[in-house]
Amino acid sequence: MMNEILKTYISPDYNDLEKIINKFSKNYLSASPFPHIVFKDFFNPDILNEVLNEFPDLSNNGNLYNKHINSDKYASRGTNIFNSQISNFFSFLNSEVFLKFLKKLSSMERSLIPDPYFLGGGLHEIKRDGFLNIHADFNKHKDLGLDRRLNLLIYLNKNWKEEYGGHFEMWDEKMEKCRKKILPEFNTFVLFSSTSYSYHGHPSPLNCPLDRSRKSLALYYYTNGRPKEEIIHGIENHSTLYQHKKNDKKLNVKKVLKEITPPVLIKLFRR
């Protein structure tokens, strides 16, 4: 029965999960700038096609629109808009067999716990000119109090061209250099360790045609406790830590103030 489930969701080249663990677990731990792995065509493309066909326009239906100086992207809110195939696929990604696979692949020292609330996760969409600045993610689940340890991203963008941009970037701990860029092509699977130093994002504005968007699935996995070396002393429980590149020009203070000041106050100041 379990073999049939794996065959349903995972492509034939990867459905021997123990073989994948033995082959890639060392690569995961030694990857730069922080532990991660990237697989191409890992999942059954027929399943991902069904997921893509069910993917809603996230600018509708009361979803999250994170628009501020560090972000311009859409995300699903909870699980209400997940249609049948999306729900089934997420259930597999949160299943016992897949959790054990991720634990062994990443050499996690504790058992992984999925998030049934999809806090910050689920369906993500970035439209033309959208972006997400380099950051380290929030490290505690605000409702469950668990420690966020792994991020899983699956991209759903067919025939995605280099000139569209939207690369997923991984930066070093000193924010001096981008160490890896990943084109968000269809059936690209990225897994990485989430710590207070795992700086990543999509900082350059998206350059795709107006009728296209950058679509992805995001799942976060937690543990009860984490190693001390993954935490910044003094901010053991933090929200998203946005970063700026070392060679960035100084922030335009007027632009920042304009971003965060309500329009009504701007009118008053002009008077």
- Going by pLDDT thresholds of 50, 70 and 90, the confidence category of residue 234 is confident
pLDDT for residue 261: 52
Q: Average pLDDT for residues 74-86, to the nearest whole number?
A: 94
For the chain, give the mean pLDDT.
91
**pLDDT tens track for 10-40:** 999 999 999 999 999 999 999 999 999 999 9
Residues in the chain: 271
The CATH number of whichever domain residue 197 belongs to comes to 2.60.120.620
Residue 260 reports pLDDT greater than 80: no
- Record the tokens describing residue 93, joined without a space: 């990604």
- Going by pLDDT thresholds of 50, 70 and 90, the confidence category of residue 4 is confident
Query: What residues make up the domain containing 147?
Result: 2-270
Residue 270 reports pLDDT greater than 50: no
pLDDT for residue 2: 64
Name 211's Cβ contacts closer than 8 Å, sequence gap at least 6: none
The tally of domains found in the chain comes to 1
- Going by pLDDT thresholds of 50, 70 and 90, the confidence category of residue 253 is very low
> What burial class does residue 96 get, using C-beta atoms within 10 Å of its C-beta: 0-12 exposed, 13-18 middle, 19+ buried?
exposed
